[in-house]
Amino acid sequence: SENKISCQIEKDDYTLSVTESLNKMMNSRLKRCGFDGASNGSAISTGNDRKNTANDTKLGVGAGSTTAAVVRTVRRSIERDLGTTTKNTDKIVLNGKDLQVLSVIGKGGSSKVYKVSHGSNVFALKVIKNVTDRKVLQSYENEINLMIKLRGTAEIIELHDYAINKDEIGCTILLLMEYGECDLTHFLKTRELRTSDIFDIFWQMLMNMNAIYDQRIIHADLKPANFVICGNKLKLIDFGISREIRTDTTNVIQESKVGTINYMSPESLCGNKTSRRSDIWSLGVILYEMVYKRNFMDGMNCWQKIDFLKGTEPVQFPDENTGDSMLEMLKGMCAMCLCKEPEHRPTVKDLIYLVKEHRDAVRVRGRDIKALVHRVIETVERDRLNGHLLVDQMVDEFMEEMRKENR
């Protein structure tokens, strides 16, 4: 499993009906209070019983006001967990908007992500409850500010609305964001990727990174879970530990070691210095996983991973040549990104240039092959020659022409 230094939201492999989950939670809490639904009829329906909702739960015959008070207390505690004050627990209110909860799509620690709707639009709502630590609150405020700065950037998940609600327990933070079908972690686990798929995904990742670098922002926590697929486009999320770069520097100092070990650069772990090239290392790890179907630190425990990242031993690559020029080019870029010395890693602009160069070369070859096919067809039809012999001869002539052009 993935070793983490900071708590991040991870996707669940299932979704739950929020109403059903709430009712189960209420029954469980009622039992702990001494009210057993089987014996006194006070169990909560797990269906969408609107009478129960309207009446703060309809109790069995003989149930008294004490039981009703307990039920109301339990319901209020669950509503506080969700950050909603409405009686309809299928809804969460954000700045006067009633958001219909469709399912829970992710959770971790004190955070949950819901799939919600407002009118005909579908969004992702991230709810973080009971935030009491000042640094954690600053991290979320930082994420909000950066997402506001990046609004309108096509490569970044859009932040539509937010709220920070303070109460006696702490803060509840709500972020209403653009909804994505799945993250890259889930996509890579469920798809058999062709080389062209890896090439296209890596290209889009470079476009994502180029977009935030144009705004002088370092992400600092790149991993597959932080890339989300929206339609046929890959977008970047989670700017909780990202930092802006001042105009007079290329590095920023992180106050603490945060990130996910499998994707952390050696310098982030060792010296707390983070730069764009730290993100390049993380991109290289993701590319390695796509190309080789595993992480190069698989089989190591947490401490072995830390020792490896702090040490001088280079990342090992399988010694194989597939003959696939596109795949070999991706492997080469992966090796460049995973150099332990940051100054020897390429920039995003370097990688974009290399990918463009290869893509343009592929286009040229495709165009030339089409021209050759048309030439063969025209010659066969005109001279009524033996097609098979003509193809062999013309391909030989064509390849000789290409060799002369490439000298």
What's the pLDDT score for residue 21? 47
d(CA 144, CA 249): 23
For residue 334, name the pLDDT band (cuts at 50, 70, 90): very high
Is 330 found in the same domain as 271? Answer: yes
pLDDT at 236: 92
Q: Which of 144, 178, 212 is the C-terminal boundary of a domain?
A: 178
Are residues 190 and 336 located together in one domain of the fold?
yes
Binding residues for ATP: 126
Pairing of strands 227-230, 182-183: antiparallel
Domain check: are 342 and 364 in the same one? no
Residue 122 vs residue 376, higher pLDDT: 122
- Higher confidence at residue 392 or residue 349? 349
Query: Residue 67 burial by CB count (10 A; 0-12/13-18/19+): exposed, middle or buried?
Result: buried
- Considering the domain architecture, whether residues 234 and 304 belong to the same structural domain is answered as yes
What pLDDT shows up at residue 12? 36
| Entry pTM | 0.66
Out of 63, 82, 101, pick the residue that ends a domain.
82
Is the residue at 5 inside a domain? Answer: no
Using a 10 angstrom Cβ sphere, with 0-12 exposed, 13-18 middle and 19 or more buried, the burial of residue 198 is middle
Per-residue pLDDT tens over the stretch 281-302 = 999 999 999 999 999 999 999 9
Same domain, 247 and 287: yes
- Bigger pLDDT: 140 or 407? 140
Closest-CA residue to 293 (of 178, 191, 160)? 191
Tally of domains in the chain: 4
CA angle 14, 109, 239 (to 5 degrees): 95
Check whether residue 334 and residue 394 sit in a common domain: no
**pLDDT value for 39:** 43
Torsion 219-222-228-232 (CA) sign = positive
CA atoms within 13 A on the CB side of 253: 2
Residue 350 has pLDDT above 60, yes or no: yes
For the annotated binding site, the residues are: 126
Inside any domain, residue 2? no
47-88: per-residue pLDDT in tens? 334 333 433 333 333 344 454 554 455 445 445 555 444 444
Looking at the structure, do residues 218 and 302 belong to the same domain, yes or no? yes
332-354 average pLDDT score: 94
Question: Where on the phi/psi map is residue 362: left (φ > 0), alpha (ψ -120 to 50), or beta?
Answer: alpha
197 by Cβ neighbours in 10 Å (0-12 / 13-18 / 19+) ranks as middle
CATH number, position 118: 3.30.200.20
Say whether pLDDT at 212 is over 80. yes
The DSSP annotation for 335-365 comes to: HHHT-SSGGGSPPHHHHHHHHHHHHHHHHHH
Top pLDDT among 388 and 264 is at 264
**What's the pLDDT score for residue 217?**
85
Given a contact cutoff of 8 angstroms between Cβ atoms, the answer to whether 265 and 278 are in contact is yes
Same-domain pairing of 311 and 254: yes
CA distance 55 to 88: 11
| Domain membership of residue 40 as a residue range | 18-82
Is residue 243 included in any domain, yes or no? yes
Residues taking part in catalysis = 221
Average pLDDT over residues 182-205: 93
Helix (H) or strand (E) holding 234: strand 233-236
Q: Are both 340 and 379 inside the same structural domain? A: no
Which of 62-66, 147-151, 262-266 is the least confident region? 62-66
Q: Is the pLDDT score of 155 beyond 80?
A: yes
Residue 99 pLDDT more than 90?
A: yes
Whether residues 360 and 342 share a domain: the answer is no
From residue 132, give the alpha-carbon distance in Å to each of 138, 198, 258, 390. 11, 42, 19, 79
